[in-house]
Amino acid sequence: MIRCVRIWTGADGNSVFEEGSIAMHAGEHDQHGGRGDVFSEVMHAASISWRETAAGGAFAPHNAPARQFVLTLSGTLEFRCASGATFIIHPGDMLLAEDTTGSGHSWRLIGDAPWRRAYVIVGEHALTLFIKGEPA
């Protein structure tokens, strides 16, 4: 399963997060020669963009500019909420950023790798396929 951390604005106006994964399942009819793939339902996206931040980068508290997935290709980051709670994102992890209001979150790169990522903007009511709980 693909690890995903969801961050959103709680009732008190502060960002909170939970760990989970993206809903995926095995197909009834494997169209790719029995390789054992699992897959998600199709999710609609409004746009995708790419960004790279050099090692050592950080960003002060801010809100997500839109409801979006952030797909980390390289780099390891520590995210922090105003409460002091933190979580780590590793290459291959996804962040579902829904804290478009409130106190926001900050991040800093850990280690020597640059942060290469894709931002996938999803609509306000788009299905995200996020499942709360530890990835399998």
Looking up residue 57, the CATH number of its domain turns out to be 2.60.120.10
Query: Which domain does 8 fall in, by range?
Result: 3-132
Strand duo 47-53 + 115-121: pairing: antiparallel
Is residue 76 within 8 Å of 56, Cβ to Cβ? no
Q: Which two tokens stand for residue 45?
A: 């996206």
- Give the residue among 78, 98, 80, 70 at the shortest CA–CA distance from 4: 70
Q: What share of the chain is helix, strand, coil (3-state, %, to 5)?
A: 0, 50, 50
Q: What is the 8-class DSSP label of residue 42?
A: P
Q: Which residue has the tokens 């997060």?
A: 17
pLDDT of residue 61: 97
Domain tally, the chain: 1
pLDDT of residue 51: 98
Q: Show pLDDT as tens, one digit a residue, over the chain (136 residues).
A: 899 999 999 999 999 999 999 998 876 555 555 677 888 888 889 999 999 999 999 999 999 999 999 999 999 999 999 999 999 999 999 999 999 999 999 999 999 999 999 999 998 888 899 999 865 4
